[in-house]
Amino acid sequence: MTKVGIAGFGTIGAAVARHLREGRNGMELVAVTSGTRAKAEAKLAQLDIEVPVVAAVQLADMAEIIVECAPTGAFMEIVVPALERGRQIVTVSAAALIENMAVIDIARSTGGRVIMATGALLGLDAVRAAAVSEIFSVTMITRKPPKSLLGAPEVVRQDIDLMKLTEPTLLFDGSARDGARGFPANVNVAAALALAGIGPDRTRLQIWADPSLERNTHFITVDADSARFELKIENIPSVEKPGTGRITALSMIAALDGLTAPLRVGS
């Protein structure tokens, strides 16, 4: 059995744990790490899963694959020791990754690997294929219900009362890199798009708070020498964390299963 650890035990981590509880594809959950041990232990008990809650360094020693779904601030604490031990990391934290690309050098030197799950974004295979040749431009317009953007650093900086908005309001217009800094918990999709395509500085991003919406919506346009295509996705927010779409946890599970499945569809 392949030993799997989960770093971060919120909405996504719990969904992955429920999946691993069934022992699918020869994978076994061996431990989790969390910034709130008591809550993690209570959630494990609720799920009827008996594994320890350990520190990030211990998790790196125990697990061959680590599912990273922790808050952005814990990214390096989790990823560095795991990659130093040559582990595989499955993550959706693209916003944290583009600010800490030095971890790829660690992976290269130890044989470790960082696997970016597609998260809430469709079409990354097409973007990656286009990037093999030349992409001229990539733009992404994200529209979210105001509650999905509560607490974002850029919202706090602008001192916007999101819950009093009565019409769509543009919160950000710039590069994916700057957008990831201003909305680290909200634009992993844009950061993943940037990593798949022309990078975080050339990828253009708009972020809107739209009180008329109930779903997190992303509209992407890619113009390349091989194709021009448009992508649109409307993600249903999770109940526990509206800023995270329900499909994000499913994407994490699909990426994890793909590591051992005899058939893998998509590049």
CATH architecture of 2-120+247-258: 3-Layer(aba) Sandwich (3.40)
Please report how the helices 246-258 and 11-20 are oriented relative to each other, as an axis angle in degrees rounded to 10. Answer: 40
* pLDDT per position as a tens digit, 77-114: 999 999 999 999 999 899 999 999 999 999 999 999 99
Pick the more confident residue, 260 or 98.
98
Q: What is the pLDDT at residue 267?
A: 58
- CB atoms under 10 Å from CB of 175, counted, come to 18
Determine which one of 218, 222, 251, 252 is catalytic: 218
Judge whether 135 and 224 are in contact, CB under 8 Å.
yes
Which among 128, 95, 91, 120 has a CA at the least distance from the CA of 219?
A: 120
Q: Which amino acid, 34?
A: S
The answer to whether residue 225 scores a pLDDT higher than 90 is yes
Cα–Cα distance measured from residue 99 to residue 95, given in angstroms and rounded to the nearest whole number: 7
Q: Which amino acid, 142?
A: T
φ and ψ at 117, to 5 degrees? -70, 150
Q: What is the pLDDT at residue 121?
A: 76
The stretches of the chain forming alpha helices (DSSP H) are: 11-20, 37-46, 56-62, 75-84, 94-98, 102-110, 124-131, 153-158, 176-182, 188-196, 246-258
Mean pLDDT check: name the lowest of 91-95, 114-118, 243-247.
243-247
Q: What is the pLDDT at residue 186?
A: 82
Q: Which amino acid, 174?
A: G
CATH architecture of 124-234: 2-Layer Sandwich (3.30)
Cα–Cα distance measured from residue 223 to residue 238, given in angstroms and rounded to the nearest whole number: 32
Which among 102, 12, 24, 8 has a CA at the least distance from the CA of 261?
A: 24
% pLDDT > 90, the chain:
76
* pLDDT per position as a tens digit, 32-87: 999 999 999 999 999 999 999 999 999 999 999 999 999 888 999 999 999 999 99
Q: Which amino acid, 244?
A: T
Judge whether 180 and 190 are in contact, CB under 8 Å.
yes
pTM recorded for the entire structure? 0.89
Judge whether 67 and 15 are in contact, CB under 8 Å.
no
* pLDDT per position as a tens digit, 162-204: 999 999 999 999 999 999 999 988 888 899 999 999 999 999 9
Mean pLDDT check: name the lowest of 16-20, 63-67, 72-76, 123-127.
123-127
What would the mean pLDDT of 16-34 be, rounded to a whole number? 90
CA 44 to chain centre: 22
Question: Is 120 annotated as a binding-site member?
Answer: yes
Order the strands of the 2-7 sheet from edge to edge: 27-33, 2-7, 65-68, 88-91, 113-116
Query: Is 19 known to be catalytic?
Result: no
* DSSP designation for 236: P
Pick the more confident residue, 51 or 241.
51
Q: Provide the residue ranges of all domains of the chain, joining segments of one domain with +.
A: 2-120+247-258, 124-234
Query: The tokens of 228 are what?
Result: 């021009």
